[in-house]
Structure 1
Protein backbone atom coordinates (compact mmCIF):
# COMPACT_ATOMS: atom_id res chain seq x y z
CA UNK A 1 0.00 0.00 0.00
CA UNK A 2 2.90 2.35 0.67
CA UNK A 3 3.89 2.05 -3.00
CA UNK A 4 0.28 2.57 -3.99
CA UNK A 5 0.00 5.75 -1.96
CA UNK A 6 3.30 7.30 -3.06
CA UNK A 7 3.02 9.95 -5.72
CA UNK A 8 0.32 12.39 -6.64
CA UNK A 9 -0.51 14.32 -3.46
CA UNK A 10 0.55 17.71 -4.86
CA UNK A 11 -2.92 19.08 -5.51
CA UNK A 12 -4.23 18.30 -2.05
CA UNK A 13 -1.03 19.51 -0.42
CA UNK A 14 -1.33 22.83 -2.23
CA UNK A 15 -4.91 23.07 -1.04
CA UNK A 16 -3.68 22.55 2.49
CA UNK A 17 -1.53 25.68 2.13
CA UNK A 18 -4.55 27.85 1.35
CA UNK A 19 -5.53 30.61 3.75
CA UNK A 20 -6.94 29.23 6.99
CA UNK A 21 -10.67 29.78 7.50
CA UNK A 22 -12.22 31.99 10.16
CA UNK A 23 -12.65 30.22 13.49
CA UNK A 24 -14.72 31.40 16.41
CA UNK A 25 -15.30 29.73 19.76
CA UNK A 26 -18.50 27.79 20.22
CA UNK A 27 -21.41 29.87 21.42
CA UNK A 28 -24.97 28.87 22.22
CA UNK A 29 -26.28 29.57 18.70
CA UNK A 30 -23.49 27.63 16.96
CA UNK A 31 -23.83 24.65 19.32
CA UNK A 32 -27.61 24.63 18.82
CA UNK A 33 -27.10 24.61 15.04
CA UNK A 34 -24.60 21.76 15.37
CA UNK A 35 -26.96 19.76 17.58
CA UNK A 36 -29.71 20.23 14.96
CA UNK A 37 -27.36 19.08 12.14
CA UNK A 38 -26.33 16.01 14.13
CA UNK A 39 -29.96 15.08 14.81
CA UNK A 40 -30.84 15.45 11.11
CA UNK A 41 -27.94 13.26 9.99
CA UNK A 42 -27.94 10.72 12.83
CA UNK A 43 -30.29 8.27 11.12
CA UNK A 44 -28.44 8.11 7.80
CA UNK A 45 -26.41 4.92 7.59
CA UNK A 46 -26.48 4.13 3.85
CA UNK A 47 -24.36 6.41 1.71
CA UNK A 48 -21.56 6.66 -0.85
CA UNK A 49 -18.77 9.22 -0.83
CA UNK A 50 -16.46 9.78 -3.82
CA UNK A 51 -13.40 12.01 -3.89
CA UNK A 52 -9.64 12.04 -3.34
CA UNK A 53 -7.63 11.01 -0.32
CA UNK A 54 -4.05 11.97 0.64
CA UNK A 55 -2.24 10.43 3.59
CA UNK A 56 1.12 10.95 5.24
CA UNK A 57 2.94 9.53 8.25
CA UNK A 58 5.63 12.22 8.20
CA UNK A 59 7.89 10.10 5.98
CA UNK A 60 5.82 8.34 3.33
CA UNK A 61 2.66 9.59 1.72
CA UNK A 62 0.64 9.91 -1.42
CA UNK A 63 -2.89 10.09 -2.74
CA UNK A 64 -5.54 8.38 -4.78
CA UNK A 65 -9.17 8.50 -5.80
CA UNK A 66 -11.52 7.24 -3.13
CA UNK A 67 -14.89 5.51 -3.15
CA UNK A 68 -16.39 4.85 0.28
CA UNK A 69 -19.65 2.91 0.53
CA UNK A 70 -21.34 2.65 3.92
CA UNK A 71 -24.28 0.28 4.40
CA UNK A 72 -25.19 0.28 8.07
CA UNK A 73 -22.25 -1.24 9.93
CA UNK A 74 -20.73 -2.63 6.73
CA UNK A 75 -18.25 -0.60 4.69
CA UNK A 76 -16.34 -0.82 1.43
CA UNK A 77 -13.42 1.59 1.15
CA UNK A 78 -11.50 1.58 -2.17
CA UNK A 79 -8.47 3.74 -2.99
CA UNK A 80 -6.98 3.82 -6.50
CA UNK A 81 -3.60 5.42 -7.22
CA UNK A 82 -3.78 7.63 -10.36
CA UNK A 83 -0.29 6.87 -11.69
CA UNK A 84 0.03 3.11 -11.15
CA UNK A 85 -3.66 2.29 -11.54
CA UNK A 86 -3.30 -0.08 -8.59
CA UNK A 87 -5.89 -0.09 -5.86
CA UNK A 88 -6.49 -1.41 -2.42
CA UNK A 89 -9.82 -2.26 -0.89
CA UNK A 90 -10.74 -2.32 2.78
CA UNK A 91 -14.10 -3.90 3.54
CA UNK A 92 -15.87 -5.40 6.48
CA UNK A 93 -18.22 -4.87 9.37
CA UNK A 94 -18.88 -6.18 12.88
CA UNK A 95 -17.49 -9.61 11.94
CA UNK A 96 -14.03 -8.27 10.96
CA UNK A 97 -12.14 -6.53 8.18
CA UNK A 98 -10.40 -7.60 4.96
CA UNK A 99 -7.62 -5.65 3.22
CA UNK A 100 -7.02 -6.52 -0.45
CA UNK A 101 -4.42 -5.27 -2.91
CA UNK A 102 -1.37 -5.44 -0.65
CA UNK A 103 1.57 -7.84 -0.80
CA UNK A 104 0.74 -11.11 0.88
CA UNK A 105 -2.95 -10.27 0.83
CA UNK A 106 -5.76 -10.48 1.30
CA UNK A 107 -5.20 -9.76 4.98
CA UNK A 108 -7.82 -10.18 7.70
CA UNK A 109 -8.24 -8.61 11.12
CA UNK A 110 -10.82 -8.02 13.84
CA UNK A 111 -11.50 -4.44 12.72
CA UNK A 112 -10.28 -1.88 10.20
CA UNK A 113 -8.08 0.12 12.59
CA UNK A 114 -6.26 -2.95 13.94
CA UNK A 115 -5.76 -4.33 10.44
CA UNK A 116 -4.35 -1.06 9.06
CA UNK A 117 -2.03 -0.70 12.06
CA UNK A 118 -0.77 -4.28 11.81
CA UNK A 119 -0.42 -4.43 8.02
CA UNK A 120 0.83 -0.94 7.26
CA UNK A 121 1.75 0.83 10.48
CA UNK A 122 -0.91 3.49 9.82
CA UNK A 123 -2.92 5.07 12.62
CA UNK A 124 -6.14 5.96 10.80
CA UNK A 125 -9.20 6.43 13.05
CA UNK A 126 -11.71 4.98 10.59
CA UNK A 127 -14.55 4.68 13.12
CA UNK A 128 -14.20 8.33 14.13
CA UNK A 129 -13.59 9.36 10.51
CA UNK A 130 -17.00 7.96 9.63
CA UNK A 131 -18.53 10.73 11.80
CA UNK A 132 -15.96 13.40 10.96
CA UNK A 133 -16.56 13.21 7.19
CA UNK A 134 -20.12 14.36 7.94
CA UNK A 135 -18.92 17.19 10.17
CA UNK A 136 -20.18 15.37 13.25
CA UNK A 137 -18.63 14.61 16.62
CA UNK A 138 -17.78 10.92 16.99
CA UNK A 139 -19.41 9.04 19.84
CA UNK A 140 -17.53 8.02 22.93
CA UNK A 141 -15.07 10.87 23.52
CA UNK A 142 -15.28 14.58 24.39
CA UNK A 143 -14.96 16.96 21.47
CA UNK A 144 -14.12 20.65 21.19
CA UNK A 145 -15.49 22.71 18.31
CA UNK A 146 -14.66 25.99 16.58
CA UNK A 147 -17.07 27.46 14.05
CA UNK A 148 -16.83 29.40 10.80
CA UNK A 149 -19.36 30.97 8.48
CA UNK A 150 -23.04 29.95 8.78
CA UNK A 151 -22.23 28.39 12.17
CA UNK A 152 -20.70 25.35 10.45
CA UNK A 153 -17.78 23.55 12.11
CA UNK A 154 -14.38 24.92 11.16
CA UNK A 155 -12.27 22.85 13.57
CA UNK A 156 -13.14 19.74 15.59
CA UNK A 157 -10.69 18.38 18.15
CA UNK A 158 -11.33 14.85 19.40
CA UNK A 159 -9.32 11.76 20.42
CA UNK A 160 -6.07 13.68 19.92
CA UNK A 161 -6.94 14.57 16.32
CA UNK A 162 -7.56 18.03 14.87
CA UNK A 163 -10.16 17.90 12.08
CA UNK A 164 -10.05 20.99 9.89
CA UNK A 165 -13.07 21.76 7.67
CA UNK A 166 -11.93 23.90 4.74
CA UNK A 167 -15.05 23.84 2.53
CA UNK A 168 -18.73 22.90 2.73
CA UNK A 169 -21.32 21.88 0.13
CA UNK A 170 -24.15 24.27 0.86
CA UNK A 171 -26.48 22.71 -1.73
CA UNK A 172 -27.15 19.84 0.65
CA UNK A 173 -29.47 20.47 3.56
CA UNK A 174 -28.05 20.23 6.07
CA UNK A 175 -24.69 21.22 4.50
CA UNK A 176 -22.04 18.51 4.10
CA UNK A 177 -18.23 18.86 4.14
CA UNK A 178 -16.23 19.08 0.91
CA UNK A 179 -12.69 19.26 2.33
CA UNK A 180 -11.72 17.50 5.56
CA UNK A 181 -8.11 17.58 6.83
CA UNK A 182 -7.43 15.45 9.93
CA UNK A 183 -4.07 15.44 11.70
CA UNK A 184 -2.42 13.96 14.75
CA UNK A 185 1.36 14.34 14.33
CA UNK A 186 2.97 12.71 12.49
CA UNK A 187 -0.18 11.43 10.76
CA UNK A 188 -2.20 13.48 8.29
CA UNK A 189 -5.31 12.54 6.33
CA UNK A 190 -6.64 14.94 3.69
CA UNK A 191 -10.00 14.22 2.07
CA UNK A 192 -11.48 16.18 -0.82
CA UNK A 193 -15.08 15.09 -1.45
CA UNK A 194 -16.45 15.33 -5.00
CA UNK A 195 -19.89 13.85 -4.41
CA UNK A 196 -22.24 12.42 -1.83
CA UNK A 197 -24.97 9.88 -2.55
CA UNK A 198 -27.40 9.25 0.31
CA UNK A 199 -29.78 6.29 0.11
Structure 2
Protein backbone atom coordinates (compact mmCIF):
# COMPACT_ATOMS: atom_id res chain seq x y z
CA UNK A 1 0.00 0.00 0.00
CA UNK A 2 1.30 3.44 -0.96
CA UNK A 3 1.08 5.76 2.04
CA UNK A 4 0.70 8.90 -0.08
CA UNK A 5 -2.24 7.31 -1.92
CA UNK A 6 -3.76 6.12 1.35
CA UNK A 7 -3.54 9.57 2.90
CA UNK A 8 -5.18 11.13 -0.16
CA UNK A 9 -7.92 8.50 -0.16
CA UNK A 10 -8.82 8.97 3.50
CA UNK A 11 -8.66 12.75 3.37
CA UNK A 12 -12.27 13.29 2.29
CA UNK A 13 -13.80 10.71 4.64
CA UNK A 14 -11.38 10.84 7.54
CA UNK A 15 -11.11 14.60 7.75
CA UNK A 16 -14.88 14.84 7.68
CA UNK A 17 -14.97 12.39 10.59
CA UNK A 18 -12.56 14.55 12.56
CA UNK A 19 -14.34 17.80 11.81
CA UNK A 20 -17.75 16.34 12.61
CA UNK A 21 -16.81 16.89 16.26
CA UNK A 22 -17.70 20.48 17.27
CA UNK A 23 -14.75 22.79 16.71
CA UNK A 24 -13.36 24.27 19.91
CA UNK A 25 -10.98 27.16 20.36
CA UNK A 26 -7.68 26.67 22.19
CA UNK A 27 -7.63 27.40 25.90
CA UNK A 28 -7.14 31.11 26.43
CA UNK A 29 -3.70 31.91 27.75
CA UNK A 30 -3.36 34.52 30.50
CA UNK A 31 -0.49 36.21 32.29
CA UNK A 32 -0.66 34.75 35.77
CA UNK A 33 0.42 36.56 38.89
CA UNK A 34 3.87 35.45 40.12
CA UNK A 35 2.52 33.18 42.86
CA UNK A 36 -0.07 31.58 40.55
CA UNK A 37 2.55 31.16 37.82
CA UNK A 38 4.95 29.44 40.21
CA UNK A 39 2.15 27.11 41.34
CA UNK A 40 1.20 26.27 37.71
CA UNK A 41 4.83 25.56 36.81
CA UNK A 42 5.25 23.34 39.88
CA UNK A 43 2.09 21.39 39.03
CA UNK A 44 3.25 20.97 35.42
CA UNK A 45 6.64 19.63 36.57
CA UNK A 46 4.97 17.25 39.04
CA UNK A 47 2.60 15.94 36.36
CA UNK A 48 5.47 15.50 33.90
CA UNK A 49 7.41 13.48 36.48
CA UNK A 50 4.36 11.33 37.24
CA UNK A 51 3.67 10.61 33.57
CA UNK A 52 7.33 9.87 32.78
CA UNK A 53 7.43 7.38 35.66
CA UNK A 54 4.76 5.23 33.99
CA UNK A 55 6.15 2.09 32.35
CA UNK A 56 3.85 2.62 29.37
CA UNK A 57 1.48 5.23 27.99
CA UNK A 58 -0.93 4.66 25.10
CA UNK A 59 -3.76 6.42 23.35
CA UNK A 60 -6.08 5.92 20.43
CA UNK A 61 -8.10 8.45 18.53
CA UNK A 62 -8.30 10.44 15.32
CA UNK A 63 -5.60 12.45 13.61
CA UNK A 64 -5.63 14.90 10.68
CA UNK A 65 -2.42 16.10 9.01
CA UNK A 66 -1.63 18.72 6.39
CA UNK A 67 1.54 19.99 4.75
CA UNK A 68 0.02 23.06 3.10
CA UNK A 69 -0.75 21.26 -0.17
CA UNK A 70 -2.01 17.81 0.77
CA UNK A 71 -3.95 16.55 3.75
CA UNK A 72 -5.21 13.31 5.16
CA UNK A 73 -6.57 11.77 8.29
CA UNK A 74 -7.57 8.54 9.94
CA UNK A 75 -7.51 6.48 13.10
CA UNK A 76 -4.34 6.47 15.18
CA UNK A 77 -3.12 4.08 17.88
CA UNK A 78 0.07 5.02 19.75
CA UNK A 79 1.89 2.96 22.36
CA UNK A 80 4.91 4.53 24.07
CA UNK A 81 7.18 2.38 26.27
CA UNK A 82 10.05 4.51 27.47
CA UNK A 83 11.75 5.81 24.33
CA UNK A 84 10.25 3.05 22.17
CA UNK A 85 7.05 3.64 20.21
CA UNK A 86 4.58 1.78 18.02
CA UNK A 87 2.21 3.87 15.91
CA UNK A 88 -0.56 2.51 13.68
CA UNK A 89 -2.47 4.74 11.26
CA UNK A 90 -5.52 3.33 9.48
CA UNK A 91 -8.09 4.59 6.99
CA UNK A 92 -11.54 4.93 8.58
CA UNK A 93 -13.45 3.06 5.84
CA UNK A 94 -11.07 0.61 4.12
CA UNK A 95 -9.14 -0.12 7.35
CA UNK A 96 -5.92 -0.16 5.32
CA UNK A 97 -3.09 0.71 7.63
CA UNK A 98 0.62 1.19 8.07
CA UNK A 99 2.69 0.82 11.21
CA UNK A 100 5.73 2.67 12.49
CA UNK A 101 7.97 1.16 15.16
CA UNK A 102 11.18 2.52 16.55
CA UNK A 103 13.13 4.43 19.12
CA UNK A 104 16.50 6.19 19.50
CA UNK A 105 18.19 3.53 17.36
CA UNK A 106 16.01 4.19 14.32
CA UNK A 107 12.62 3.33 12.91
CA UNK A 108 10.83 0.96 10.54
CA UNK A 109 7.62 1.42 8.53
CA UNK A 110 5.55 -1.61 7.51
CA UNK A 111 2.63 -1.64 5.08
CA UNK A 112 4.27 0.12 2.12
CA UNK A 113 4.48 -0.96 -1.50
CA UNK A 114 7.84 -2.64 -2.00
CA UNK A 115 8.14 -3.83 1.57
CA UNK A 116 9.31 -2.28 4.84
CA UNK A 117 11.49 0.80 4.99
CA UNK A 118 14.01 1.56 7.71
CA UNK A 119 16.02 4.60 8.68
CA UNK A 120 18.03 6.11 11.52
CA UNK A 121 16.18 9.45 11.36
CA UNK A 122 12.45 8.84 11.78
CA UNK A 123 11.60 12.36 10.61
CA UNK A 124 13.40 11.88 7.30
CA UNK A 125 11.95 8.39 6.92
CA UNK A 126 8.38 9.65 7.35
CA UNK A 127 8.86 12.71 5.15
CA UNK A 128 10.18 10.55 2.31
CA UNK A 129 7.41 7.98 2.72
CA UNK A 130 4.41 10.24 3.33
CA UNK A 131 5.36 13.81 2.46
CA UNK A 132 4.27 14.94 5.93
CA UNK A 133 6.23 16.50 8.78
CA UNK A 134 5.35 14.35 11.80
CA UNK A 135 7.28 15.16 15.02
CA UNK A 136 7.43 11.55 16.24
CA UNK A 137 10.35 12.11 18.62
CA UNK A 138 8.30 14.66 20.59
CA UNK A 139 4.69 13.83 19.77
CA UNK A 140 4.06 11.38 22.61
CA UNK A 141 5.23 13.93 25.18
CA UNK A 142 3.25 16.77 23.60
CA UNK A 143 0.14 14.60 23.31
CA UNK A 144 0.41 13.91 27.06
CA UNK A 145 0.79 17.63 27.83
CA UNK A 146 4.51 17.49 28.57
CA UNK A 147 7.64 19.18 27.33
CA UNK A 148 9.71 16.82 25.21
CA UNK A 149 13.38 16.08 25.85
CA UNK A 150 14.33 17.75 22.57
CA UNK A 151 15.29 21.27 23.58
CA UNK A 152 14.13 24.43 25.31
CA UNK A 153 10.39 25.00 25.56
CA UNK A 154 8.08 27.88 26.36
CA UNK A 155 4.76 27.29 28.11
CA UNK A 156 1.64 29.34 28.75
CA UNK A 157 -1.27 28.59 31.07
CA UNK A 158 -4.97 29.36 31.24
CA UNK A 159 -6.62 31.17 34.13
CA UNK A 160 -6.97 27.89 36.04
CA UNK A 161 -3.26 27.06 35.72
CA UNK A 162 -3.67 24.35 33.08
CA UNK A 163 -1.16 24.10 30.24
CA UNK A 164 -2.73 25.96 27.30
CA UNK A 165 0.17 26.37 24.86
CA UNK A 166 3.58 24.79 24.41
CA UNK A 167 6.23 26.00 21.97
CA UNK A 168 9.19 23.75 21.22
CA UNK A 169 11.40 22.86 18.25
CA UNK A 170 9.61 25.43 16.11
CA UNK A 171 6.21 23.82 16.79
CA UNK A 172 3.31 25.51 18.57
CA UNK A 173 1.02 23.08 20.39
CA UNK A 174 -2.36 24.41 21.48
CA UNK A 175 -4.40 22.44 24.01
CA UNK A 176 -8.12 22.67 23.35
CA UNK A 177 -9.42 20.29 25.99
CA UNK A 178 -8.24 18.22 28.96
CA UNK A 179 -9.76 15.36 30.89
CA UNK A 180 -11.50 16.63 34.02
CA UNK A 181 -9.31 16.22 37.09
CA UNK A 182 -11.87 13.87 38.60
CA UNK A 183 -11.29 11.35 35.81
CA UNK A 184 -7.81 10.42 36.96
CA UNK A 185 -6.61 12.83 39.61
CA UNK A 186 -5.18 16.30 39.06
CA UNK A 187 -1.66 15.02 38.48
CA UNK A 188 -2.46 12.55 35.69
CA UNK A 189 -5.26 14.31 33.83
CA UNK A 190 -4.34 14.15 30.14
CA UNK A 191 -5.23 16.22 27.04
CA UNK A 192 -8.01 15.09 24.71
CA UNK A 193 -7.81 17.68 21.90
CA UNK A 194 -4.58 19.12 20.54
CA UNK A 195 -3.54 21.22 17.54
CA UNK A 196 0.14 21.42 16.53
CA UNK A 197 1.62 23.62 13.83
CA UNK A 198 5.01 24.53 12.38
CA UNK A 199 4.84 26.62 9.22
CA UNK A 200 2.56 24.82 6.77
CA UNK A 201 2.77 21.55 8.70
CA UNK A 202 -0.26 20.89 10.90
CA UNK A 203 -1.33 18.00 13.08
CA UNK A 204 -4.73 17.84 14.74
CA UNK A 205 -5.29 15.12 17.35
CA UNK A 206 -8.49 14.05 19.08
CA UNK A 207 -7.86 11.41 21.75
CA UNK A 208 -10.74 9.00 22.32
CA UNK A 209 -9.07 7.04 25.12
CA UNK A 210 -5.87 6.83 27.13
CA UNK A 211 -4.21 3.91 28.90
CA UNK A 212 -1.59 4.47 31.59
CA UNK A 213 1.03 2.11 32.90
CA UNK A 214 0.03 -0.91 30.82
CA UNK A 215 -3.55 -0.84 32.09
CA UNK A 216 -5.72 -3.71 30.94
CA UNK A 217 -8.02 -1.41 29.02
CA UNK A 218 -8.17 2.07 27.64
CA UNK A 219 -9.48 4.82 29.89
CA UNK A 220 -12.21 6.57 27.93
CA UNK A 221 -12.32 10.33 27.72
CA UNK A 222 -15.59 12.00 28.61
Same-fold call, TM cutoff 0.5:
yes
Contact 2:4 2:129 in 1 (8 A): no
Tell me which of 28, 34, 38 is aligned to 2:44: 34
CA distance in 2, matches of 1:193, 1:153: 17
Cα distance in 1 for residues equivalent to 2:50 and 2:85: 21
Matched, 1:23 2:29: yes
**Contact 1:146–1:153 (Cα < 8 Å) also in 2:** yes
Q: 1:164 to 1:14 in 2, by over 3 A?
A: farther
Q: Which has the higher strand share?
A: 1
RMSD in angstroms over aligned alpha carbons?
Answer: 1.9
Equivalent in 97, 102, 111 of residue 107 of structure 2: 97
The residue that corresponds to 2:217 in the other structure is none
Mapped pair 1:147 → 2:157: yes
Q: Which runs of 5+ in 1 are unaligned?
A: none
Deviation per residue, 1:95-142 (Å, 9 max, x gap): 321111222231111142221123233221111112101101112311
Call closer, same or farther: CA 1:177–1:29 in 2, change over 3 Å.
same
Query: 1:54 touches 1:191 (CA, 8 Å); kept in 2?
Result: yes
**Relative to 1, partners in 2 of residues 1:42 and 1:97: Cα closer, same or farther, differing over 3 Å?**
same
Deviation larger for 2-11 or 12-21: 12-21
Name the CA distance, whole Å, in 2 between partners of 1:91 and 1:169: 28
State whether structure 2 residue 6 is matched by structure 1 residue 4: yes
What is the CA-CA distance between 1:13 and the residue it aligns to?
A: 4.1
C-alpha distance after superposition, 1:46-67 (max 9, x if no partner): 1221111111101111111111
For 2:176, the equivalent position in structure 1 comes to 166
Q: How does 1:26-175 map to 2 (within 5 A)?
A: 27-170=37-180, 171-173=183-185, 174=187, 175=189
SS of structure 2 residue aligned to 1:9: helix
Return the match for 2:210 from 193, 196, 199: 196
Q: Say if 1:2 and 1:61, in contact at 8 Å, map to a contact too.
A: no
Taking structure 1 as reference, are residues 107 and 76 closer, same or farther at Cα in structure 2, changes over 3 Å only? same
Equivalent residue of 2:148, what SS? coil
Counterpart Cα distance in 1 of 2:103 and 2:138: 15
Using structure 1 for the length normalisation, give the TM-score.
Answer: 0.91
Q: What count of residue pairs does the alignment treat as equivalent?
A: 199
Residue segments in structure 2 that go unaligned for 5+ positions in a row:
214-222
What secondary structure, in the 3-state scheme, does the structure 2 residue paired with 1:146 have?
strand
Regions of 4+ moved over 6 Å: none
